[in-house]
Amino acid sequence: MKLEDKIENHFRLDQDQKKALNKLRLITVKDLLFHFPNRYNYISDIKYINTLSSGEQVTILGTISNLQTKKGFKSKIPMGQATLSDITGKINIIWFHQPYLAKMIKEGSTVKVSGKITNSDKYGLTLMNPEIDKDSILPIDLHDSLFSKENKKEEELGFPIYPETKGITSKWIYHTIKKIIKDEEIKNIKEYLPLYIINSYKLPSLHTALIWIHTPKKKEHAEIARKRFAFEEVFFIQLARQKEKKEYNKMFSYKLKIEKEDIKDFIDRFPFSPTNSQTKAINTILEDLKKDKPMGRLLEGDVGSGKTFVAATITYAVIKNRPMGQSFGNLQVAYMAPTEVLAVQLYENFIKYFEHTGISIGLITSSGCRKFPSKTAGWKNGEQIKTWTNISKNQLLKWIKNGEIPIVIGTHSLISKSVEFEDLGLVIIDEQHRFGTNQRMKLAKKEGHAPHYLSMSATPIPRTLALTIYGDLDLSIMDEMPKGRKSVITEIIPENKRSIAYENIRKELEAGRQVYVICPKIEETEIGDNTIEGLVSSTERTLSKFSAENLRARESIISDLKTVTSEAKRLKKDIFQTYNIDIMHSKMSSQKKEKVMKDFEDKKIDILVSTSVIEVGVNIPNATIIVIEGAERFGLAQLHQLRGRVMRSTHQSYCYLFADAKTDKTIDRLKALTKASNGFELAELDLSLRGAGLLGGDKQWGITDLGMEALKNIKMVEAARSEAIKIIESDNELSSYSTLSETLKQKNLKLHFE
C-alpha cells in the first residue's frame, strides 16, 4: 500500500462511500491518514445512571427507547420524550420545543447524551434538552466493555470522532486508518519539519504524531499529537505568507508625492473631524506610499469606526499623483467591495466626496456599469438630475484601459481578465476574504509597477488570526468611534417581554426613526444542504449531529425558525399595521436589493425585514433599532456587525436580541454582547467559545478546526510566525529544505491560500 494510492484501490467502497469520500476530499491513502479527528470520546467521561444527582453536567452512554412527541397538557409546548438505559438504571429525557429530535433517533439505538440533570416532582431525575450523538459516530463497539464492572486498564483510552458526511461514518474512518497504520507504510512518510524546530518545541516526530492522533492510548498522546499538527498548520501558512511578502517586496511600486496641505483641504470638506485612530491610520499609510516598494497593509477597524473615510482620503492622495514620466493624467485606484449593494453605496458616497475635483469615477458590477460625471447632469424644475450615467461595459473598459477613469469601484468583476488598468497605483479590498499577491497582480499591467495594497477587514478579527492569515501584511487598527456617537443599548428579550420591546420600537417609529428586523432564513420551503449546520450555534450543536437524510424532520426544524417573508407578514398584520414594511434577502436580484435600500434610505420604508445580508457596511443613519430573531444562532462578531447598522448617527440606538437560548453557555455568550461595545474584545471571546464559527469557517480561511484551535494560543502562533520568518529571511527559495519546500507546495494547492 503506497501513500499516493487511491483509497478505492485497497478498500471496497460502494457508490455512496465514494461520493462521501470525494465530498470530504479524501482521495488517496495519504489524504485519509491526514484526516484528523476533531475530538475524542474517553471512557472516563462516561457516567453510570445510578450515580447521577440533580445539578450535575454529565455524559451518559446508553440505549434509547420509548421515543414519542407530544404537547404539554397546559402549556401546549411541543416536546420530545424518551428513556435512556444503561446496565445500572434508566433516566427520562425531555426536549422542549424540539419534538423533531424524537423523530430523528432510531428506537433502540445506542447514543451518547450530554446535559444537566434536573429533578422535578413530575418527571423525577431528568435530562432536559440534552445534546445527543447517534451511535453512528461511535468508532468501535465498546458497549459491553464500557459497562463491564471490571477495572478498566484503558481508563484514559480515547476514541476519535472524525469530520464525516452522509455515507461515511467515524467508525469506518477509524477502522480504515487502523489498517493503514498496521500496513506500516506510515514508516515511509518523510519528516518535513526541520529537526531543530521539533527539538526546540518538544514536538513528536511525524510518524509518532500520526499514530497518536488516530490511536491514542491516553489523553496526553492525543494532546501532544494535536499540538504538533496545530503548530505545523499555522507554521505552513506563515511560511507561505512570508514567502509571498518577500517576493512582493522585490517588486517596485509608485513612489508617491504627498501634498499634506492638499490632503488637509480634502479632509476639511467633511462635516466632521477625524478621530485620532483615523488620523493615525491615514498618516501611517501615507508614509508607506512614499516608498518605491509596494505597500501591503491591513486596516482593521471596529464597526462604525470610519474606514471608508480613511479609504477616500488615501484614494485622493493617490489620484493627485501623475503616472511615472508624465505631466498629465492620474494614477488609478481600484476599490473592491464584497457585494453589489455596498459597491453601489460606495460609488454614490465617492461621488459626493470627489465631485469638486472633476475626477471621473467608474462602477463595474455584474449587473451593469456607470460613469461619473454624466454629460446630462444638472438641474431641472428645481430637482437635480442624477450625476452619473449608465454606460456599456466595453466603453467603461476602454476608458479604464487608457487611464481616463482614475477611480474604479466594483465587486469581484474588477479582477476579470477583461479589466485592464493603465497606471494602477492602489488596490483597496473592503471585505473579509483574503486577497492574495497573485490576485493583486491581476489588476496591474504585466509590464508595469506593482500596485500598493490596502485590505480593510469588515469584521474585527482576533490578533492570532490576523497574524496568521494576513502574515504578509502590516497591521493598522482603528478602535475609536466618531465623536458624538452613543453606544448602542443591547438587550436580550425573552419571549414574555416581546410586547414591551414592540412598544419601544413603536415609539422610535413615531419619532420618525426606522427599524431593521433580522431573520435567519428567507423562505420556509428553502432547504439547502447546510440548513441545519449553518443555523445552529456550536454551543447548541444537537441538530448538527444528524445527516440531511430526513426531509420531513428538516422541514419541521425550518418551520420553527423566523423567516423573512412570514415575519414581514406577521409584523404588518399583527403589530405595525400603519407602517410600511419591506423585505430584502440574498436571493433577490441586485437591482431589487438596490431599490429596496434606496427606498429605505429615502424613508419610504419604515421597517426592513432582512437576512444578515445587511450585516456589512450598509449605512442608514436614521435607522436606530435592530431586532435580531434567533440571535443564539449567530456568532458574537456577526451580531456585533449587525448591531453596527444602527450605530450610524448621534441618535440613541438599540439592539434587541430575540433569543431561544437553552444553555448557560449560550446565555453567557449573548450577555457578553450586552456588556461589551468593542468588536475586538468580542472577536477574541467568540474564538474561545465558538472556534471557527465566527470566522466564517475553514472554507473562508483555509484553516481546519485543528488550526483554529491553535489560534487560541498566541504563544504558538507567534512561535510559528517567528520560525517561518527566520527560514524565509535566510533562504527564501527553501533550497536547504527540500522536503519542507515540497510539502509547502502541496499544502498551498490543497488549502487554496489565495
- Lowest model confidence (mean pLDDT) among 53-67, 263-277, 726-740: 53-67
Alpha helices in 24-104 (DSSP H): 29-33, 100-104
Strand-pair category, 489-493 with 332-336: unpaired
Residue 540 pLDDT > 70: no
User: Average model confidence (pLDDT) for the chain?
Assistant: 81
My answer on whether 31 and 52 are in the same domain is no
Give percent of the chain with pLDDT exceeding 90.
35
My answer on whether 528 and 387 are in the same domain is no
- Lowest model confidence (mean pLDDT) among 21-35, 297-311, 679-693: 679-693
The CATH number covering residue 520 comes to 3.40.50.300
Contact by Cβ (8 Å): 139, 168? no
Count of domains for the chain: 4
**How sure is the predictor about 551, in pLDDT bands with cuts at 50, 70 and 90?**
very low
pTM: 0.71
My answer on whether 515 and 630 are in the same domain is yes
Residue 749 pLDDT > 80: no
pLDDT of residue 637: 77
**How sure is the predictor about 60, in pLDDT bands with cuts at 50, 70 and 90?**
confident
pLDDT of residue 438: 64
Residue 151 pLDDT > 50: no
Scan for cell 404588518, then name that residue. 572
Domain boundary among the residues 146, 179, 204 is at 146
Residue 90 lies in domain: 41-146
- Per-residue pLDDT reduced to its tens digit, 211-253: 999 988 888 899 999 999 999 999 999 999 899 888 888 888 8
The CATH number covering residue 66 comes to 2.40.50.140
Higher per-residue confidence, 83 vs 481: 83
DSSP lists the bridge partners of residue 410 as 336, 364
pLDDT of residue 689: 66
My answer on whether 187 and 57 are in the same domain is no
Nearest to 255 by CA among 202, 188, 323: 323
CA–CA distance, 639 with 637 (Å, rounded to integer): 5
pLDDT of residue 531: 29
**What are residue 136's phi and psi, to 5 degrees?**
-65, -20
Residue 430 pLDDT > 90: no
**How many CB atoms are closer than 10 A to CB 21?**
24
My answer on whether 162 and 142 are in the same domain is no
My answer on whether 572 and 670 are in the same domain is yes
The verdict on residue 583 lying in a domain is: yes
CB half-sphere exposure, 63, CA atoms < 13 A? 12
My answer on whether 620 and 520 are in the same domain is yes
**How sure is the predictor about 148, in pLDDT bands with cuts at 50, 70 and 90?**
very low
The verdict on residue 507 lying in a domain is: yes
Q: Per residue in 59-78, is it b (16+ CB within 10 Å) or e — as a string?
A: bbbbbbeebebeeeeeeeeb
Residue 98 pLDDT > 60: yes
The verdict on residue 92 lying in a domain is: yes
**How sure is the predictor about 411, in pLDDT bands with cuts at 50, 70 and 90?**
confident
Higher per-residue confidence, 185 vs 719: 719
What stretches of 239-289 adopt beta strand conformation (E)? none
Chain centroid offset of residue 554 CA? 24
- Per-residue pLDDT reduced to its tens digit, 624-673: 999 999 888 887 878 888 888 887 777 899 999 998 766 677 788 888 88
My answer on whether 339 and 454 are in the same domain is yes
- Lowest model confidence (mean pLDDT) among 413-427, 559-573, 629-643: 559-573
My answer on whether 406 and 273 are in the same domain is yes
- Per-residue pLDDT reduced to its tens digit, 102-143: 777 888 888 888 788 888 777 788 988 887 765 433 433 344
